[in-house]
């Protein structure tokens, strides 16, 4: 079986085959996620399998006509993703000086409405906490840890026991691009974590992973997502509950309590403060309302 960053199809043009292979390898070297690389690979295979010309000869009109023919039925968000992939490929070619200019035009990209982050109301948080207490200590810790650290679900899945520091109430997590940061958790979370670790060590002391299944295996991202979804259903929330809602809630609560965006960005592990700007778009009256909900 080939590596996930290697092309799985033979393209009609050998030059395209070679350079796309280089591009995908560069994504792997840059620590882009496996899922992202697979999405890129699949679309580039789909696009270039129909192109007999080398990528250097493809005109803007040729590319645009292909998109009109093949992608016209897609949603604007999905179309934008496909355009971003082909644009990234040509940006790579520009950086490597394989081409003098990119045939991709910025005007092709649909402008998507920027949605506000979906956070949890105080009442819903109480329902989720109560429901987690009815399931298991591990699930209660999962909910509390994600609510008070703002961690991504993959960061939680990959967290090891030895990376938790109870004295300073911090945990060492590996974020996107293998970037290491230290997240903080509350006194309540620390208390629950200590109880959970004592319980798990009775049966699985040798296991490195912090969060385990009942059989002692590391909790996968998919399993965490399923656990959180079931807790949301048990709490009778009006919408499905996803782990990322905890991350948005964590950031929104910090904002409501007066934290500045640079601090919030550091806690979330954003490499660019521009990514954190989405929280600044919460209406001022909404922030005031949130502050009163959380602080009284």
Annotated catalytic residue within 176, 184, 204, 293: 176
Weakest-pLDDT range from 7-11, 86-90, 119-123: 119-123
Annotated catalytic residue within 41, 152, 245, 248: 152
Tens digit of each residue's pLDDT (9 = 90 or more) over 212-248: 998 889 999 999 999 999 999 999 988 889 998 898 8
Between CA 258 and CA 255 the distance in angstroms is 5
Between CA 96 and CA 135 the distance in angstroms is 54
Tens digit of each residue's pLDDT (9 = 90 or more) over 23-77: 999 999 888 888 889 999 999 999 999 999 999 999 999 999 998 888 667 777 7
Q: What's the confidence (pLDDT) of residue 269?
A: 78
Highest mean pLDDT out of 38-52, 74-88, 104-118: 38-52
Active site residue 111: no
Q: What's the confidence (pLDDT) of residue 239?
A: 85
Active site residue 176: yes
Q: What's the confidence (pLDDT) of residue 117?
A: 64
Q: What's the confidence (pLDDT) of residue 1?
A: 46
Residues 135/270, Cβ–Cβ less than 8 Å: no
Q: What's the confidence (pLDDT) of residue 267?
A: 77
Q: What's the confidence (pLDDT) of residue 120?
A: 83
- Stretch 249-267: mean pLDDT: 77
User: Got the DSSP string for the chain?
Assistant: ---TTS-SS--S-HHHHHHHHHHHHHHHHTT--HHHHHHHHHHHHHHHTT--S-GGG--HHHHHHHHHHHSTTS-HHHHHHHHHHHHHHHHHHHHTTS-SS----GGGSPPPP-PPP----HHHHHHHHHHHHTT-HHHHHHHHHHHHH---HHHHHT-BGGGEETTTTEEEEE-GGG-EEEEE--HHHHHHHHHHHHHHHHHHTT--BSSB-TTSPBPPHHHHHHHHHHHHHHTT-SS---HHHHHHHHHHHHHHTT--HHHHHHHHT-SSHHHHGGGGGS-HHHHHHHHHHHH-
Q: Which residue has the higher pLDDT, 251 or 114?
A: 251
- Stretch 83-98: mean pLDDT: 94
Chain-centroid distance, C-alpha 132 = 23
Mean pLDDT score across all residues of the chain:
86
Tens digit of each residue's pLDDT (9 = 90 or more) over 157-168: 999 999 999 988
Q: What's the confidence (pLDDT) of residue 281?
A: 60
Active site residue 244: yes
Active site residue 184: no
pLDDT band per the 50, 70, 90 thresholds, residue 121: confident
Which domains are present in the chain?
14-108 (1.10.150.130), 122-295 (1.10.443.10)
Active site residue 204: no
pLDDT score of 280 more than 70: no
Active site residue 279: yes
Annotated catalytic residue within 80, 161, 218, 244: 244
pLDDT score of 195 more than 90: yes
How would you list the strands of the sheet with 180-184, edge to edge? 164-165, 170-174, 180-184
Q: What's the confidence (pLDDT) of residue 177?
A: 74
Between CA 174 and CA 224 the distance in angstroms is 17
pLDDT score of 180 more than 90: no
CA within 13 Å, CB half, 22: 13
């Amino acid at each position: 079986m080939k590596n996930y960053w290697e092309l799985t199809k033979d393209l009609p043009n050998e030059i395209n085959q070679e350079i796309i292979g280089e591009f995908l390898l560069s994504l792997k070297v840059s620590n882009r996620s496996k899922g992202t690389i697979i999405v890129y690979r699949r679309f580039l295979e789909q696009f270039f399998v129909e192109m007999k010309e080398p990528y250097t000869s493809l005109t803007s009109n040729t590319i645009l006509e292909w998109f009109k023919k093949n992608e016209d039925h897609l949603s604007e968000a999905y179309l934008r993703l496909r355009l971003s992939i082909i644009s990234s490929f040509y940006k790579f070619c520009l950086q490597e000086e394989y081409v003098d200019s990119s045939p991709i035009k910025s005007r092709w990209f649909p402008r998507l409405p920027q949605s506000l982050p979906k956070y949890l109301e105080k009442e819903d948080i109480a329902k989720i906490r109560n429901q987690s207490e009815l399931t298991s200590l591990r699930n209660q810790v999962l909910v509390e840890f994600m609510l008070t650290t703002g961690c991504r679900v993959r960061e939680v899945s990959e967290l090891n026991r030895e990376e938790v520091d109870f004295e300073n109430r911090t945990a060492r997590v590996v974020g996107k691009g293998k970037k290491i940061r230290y997240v903080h958790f509350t006194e309540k979370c620390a208390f629950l974590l200590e109880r959970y670790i004592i319980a798990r060590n009775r049966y699985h002391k040798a296991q490195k992973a912090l969060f385990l299944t009942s059989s002692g295996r590391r909790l996968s991202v998919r399993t965490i997502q399923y656990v959180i979804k079931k807790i949301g259903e048990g709490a009778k929330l009006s919408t499905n509950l996803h782990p990322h809602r905890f991350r948005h809630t964590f950031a929104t609560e910090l904002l409501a309590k007066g934290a500045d965006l640079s601090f919030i960005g550091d806690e979330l592990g954003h490499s660019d403060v521009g990514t954190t700007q989405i929280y600044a778009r919460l209406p001022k009256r909404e922030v005031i309302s949130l502050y009163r909900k959380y602080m009284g």
